[in-house]
Amino acid sequence: EHAHKLIVQVHSMGSVSIPPPASLLRPLETPQRLLSGPGPSNVPPRVLAAAARQIIGHMHGEMLEIMDDIKKGIQYAFQTQNNMTLAMSGPGHVAMECAIFNTVESGESVLVAVNGIWGERAAEIAERIGARVNTIVKPPGGYFTKEEIEQALVEHKPVIFFLTHGESSSGVVHPLDGIGDLCHSHNCLFLLDAVASLGGSPILMDKQGIDILYTGSQKVLNSPPGTAPISFSERACKKMFHRKTKPLSYFLDMGWLANYWGCDGKPTRTYHHTGPISGFFTLRESLAILAEMGLENSWNRHKEVAEHLHKGLESMGFKLFVQEKHVRLPTVTTITVPPGYDWREITVYAMKHHNVEISGGLGPSSGMVLRVGLMGYNSNKANADKVLEALREALKHCHKSKV
């Protein structure tokens, strides 16, 4: 009798009261679209095939060889010989946090160049770990002179200077030459965000004196989001591995990650976390595609396709948001929202009738611009023409108010 009561009790406790969701009992469906916003980009068949491979163990010898391939691919893409080169398990934000968390300690001075949303984000991350954050600020579309940067370095004496190379919210690619030397002459590390520009615009990490450089997998590299290449110079490593305090994040602690990626010279690698194995497969293939194409060819193609797009936009009467041609980001073009039009209507029309993604502004550029991204696999004149056609039709069919 006692046993019977127990069975009844377990049965009543174990009974399922929440049914399976009906939506999960239907097959997965996703639309086919041209992802011509600021990212993610469409994934080419070769990279999709890598994602479909059966996974292997994250510490298997074959996996460590793939990670070594990734390291070499990042060194090529970044043009660096830095040993401390790896891919973060996460999107670009994880790399941004890793760079700041590992090289900055509470109370230290940080200088952040803000000319769009990414500078704003970096400043907030540094504030959260207790850094004394100082900013130099330009409106969207603006960039900084070396004189302005030097003045701020002299005034604030930072341990690190953050700059966005490809500011995807405003469409600016920032000039780099001389900034690394300037930082080093003021005993400051140079940290560069290249999420939107890597592979689409020239970057030479070693020659340009960049101490920490990172990017994302989902832009020019055309992998799914979720991995983020990053590299640290010897100068950055010296600062990073001679801290008074442990980094705030265990997950992002470069002491552990350097070992996981075989960058610390130790004979064995120790378990730290389970990396995104399929993400590493795809990143390896993306870097292989870039290596086969050649960096210079990739830079030139993005420049040519961007110029083709710009010419088409201007012939239709659109105004490009970034005035100076030499600072227009080749991967993400910003277009001033045409007078009298609601930007949301234009983006909705392009998506609904053409399956073409065009984005509005982000952060400081919200409501000011339309953004078109043509990156990596998507960077060709045929795709630029699809975007131009979608915009041409949108102007015809969307409501225009009297200005």
Residues tagged in the binding site annotation: 371
Q: What is the strand order of the sheet 212-214 is part of?
A: 84-89, 227-232, 212-214, 189-193, 160-164, 109-114, 132-137
Q: 11-36: buried (b, 16+ CB within 10 Å) or exposed (e) per residue?
A: eeeeeeeeeeeeeeeeeeeeeeebbb
Location of structure tokens 């961007």: 306
CA geometry: angle 193, 199, 201, nearest 5 deg: 75
Nearest partner of 374 among 362, 387, 361, 365, judged by Cα: 387
User: What secondary structure letter does DSSP report for 321?
Assistant: S
Q: How far apart are CA 302 and CA 200, in angstroms?
A: 6
Q: How far apart are CA 104 and CA 111, in angstroms?
A: 11
Q: How far apart are CA 230 and CA 86, in angstroms?
A: 6
Instruction: Cis check for the bond before 21: say yes or no (omega within 30 of 0).
Output: no
**Residues flagged as binding site for substrate:** 371
What are the DSSP calls for 230-282, one per residue? Answer: EEE-HHHHHHHTS-SS--S-STT-HHHHHHHTT-S--SSPPP-----HHHHHH
Q: How far apart are CA 176 and CA 381, in angstroms?
A: 28
